Amino acid sequence: MGSPGSATSPPGSSTRPSGSPTSPPESAPQSALRRLLPVPAIAVGVLALGGGLVAVSYAGPTAPHLAEMLPPVIALIAYVLLYSKRAVTLATQRRPVERWRIGCFVGGVVLMSVVQVGPFDALADELLVYHMTQHIIIGEVASFFVVVGLTGPLLQPLLSMRISRILRPAINPAVALVLWAADLYLWHTPFFYQLAIRHDLIHALEHACFFWFGLCFWLGLIGPLPKPRWFGNWARLWYVIGARLAGSGIANALIWIPVVFYPYYRAADLRNGLTPLEDQKLAGGVMMLEQILLGVALLTWLMLRAFRQDDERQALLDLAEDHGLEITDARAARAVASGEVATTRLRRLIESAPVESSAD
């Protein structure tokens, strides 16, 4: 029996504390949009970062290279805004992009901004070792994080454009590796390297090429788009080894050949207490260290990937045997190699079959 003055709740309703506000349940699109609220804020942050670095360049002792700085700043702002717009669209369609992928993409863009605009770019104009570090970050590190931040749904509007169908072969692993290596060697020849340093627009083009062909390289190896059937773990192993050998070739030349390849840096080296050969050896050492560390990381990833795929393949075969289905080893291996979607599809197909019961 209720106490005097108490109201009886109708059947099926829940009792709420007096005076507490009631709000309608949050829909899935609203929840996704709420999770993506940091995206526009991050975009604004990148805009502010680019503007701040340009301001720092103006305040520095040397004149800013606007023809070199503005193209990457404009491009990076466009990357973030387009990414944010597509991510919000996917969230409204209940296909939100994972936060860690958004963080990777934005992290890659921020890295690109930091090394191409402001104090670090001024250091790269002074010493070869800093310029080589800049190239490594643009072509290998920042491009890696940008690719990790991409998904198939994010790329869908781009893939539907005619120009993307023309450029699609560039991310085929066999083509991507050749293009990446050719771009690396072309821009590090003494003629083109020093031509880029002396002409700002060409310098901006050089950095854009490092980034674009770096994207092709990583898309061919770890990108979200389907890979050729021949590109299994062994092919990926040779892909990684080929890339590391190509990069190590330039590093070894800088370290061991007693010839100054880039005389442009002579005066700056002397101002900073270095000889041109010492600066060149330092640049080669940085590049060699990066090749070793990245090579070890990629080979470890390939090994763990192979172990995981073997476990998943065997699990599919065992599940098929329990359900009395004949699934070939090659079919299970293809499903696992194709990714989570194909593996889940095959697993559900097997689970839909009745389990064989053994007779007593």
Q: Which two tokens stand for residue 17?
A: 């504390």
Q: What is the pLDDT of residue 50?
A: 54
Q: What is the pLDDT of residue 162?
A: 83
Distance CA 128, CA 276 (A): 9
Q: What is the DSSP letter of 290?
A: H
Question: Please, how many CA atoms are within 13 Å of residue 246, restricted to the half-sphere of its CB?
Answer: 18
Is 141 in contact with 150 (CB distance < 8 Å)?
no
Q: What is the pLDDT of residue 309?
A: 83
Distance CA 339, CA 342 (A): 6
pLDDT in tens, 47-56: 555 555 554 4
Q: What is the DSSP letter of 86?
A: H
Q: What is the pLDDT of residue 61?
A: 43
Distance CA 313, CA 296 (A): 26
pTM as predicted: 0.79
- The rounded average pLDDT for each run of 10 residues, N- to C-terminus, in the chain (360 residues) is 44 43 50 52 54 49 65 88 92 91 94 88 91 96 96 90 85 95 96 93 94 96 90 93 95 95 92 93 96 94 89 81 78 75 78 60
Is 264 in contact with 126 (CB distance < 8 Å)?
no
Q: What is the DSSP letter of 10?
A: P
What length is written for the chain? 360
- DSSP secondary structure string for all residues of 189-215: SHHHHHHHHH-HHHHHHHHHHHHHHHH
Q: Measuring CA to CA, which residue among 128, 204, 139 is closest to residue 176?
A: 139
Distance between terminal CA atoms of the chain?
60
**Region of 242 on the Ramachandran plot (φ > 0 left; ψ -120 to 50 alpha; else beta):** alpha
Is 305 in contact with 276 (CB distance < 8 Å)?
no
Q: What is the pLDDT of residue 20?
A: 42
Q: What is the pLDDT of residue 45?
A: 54
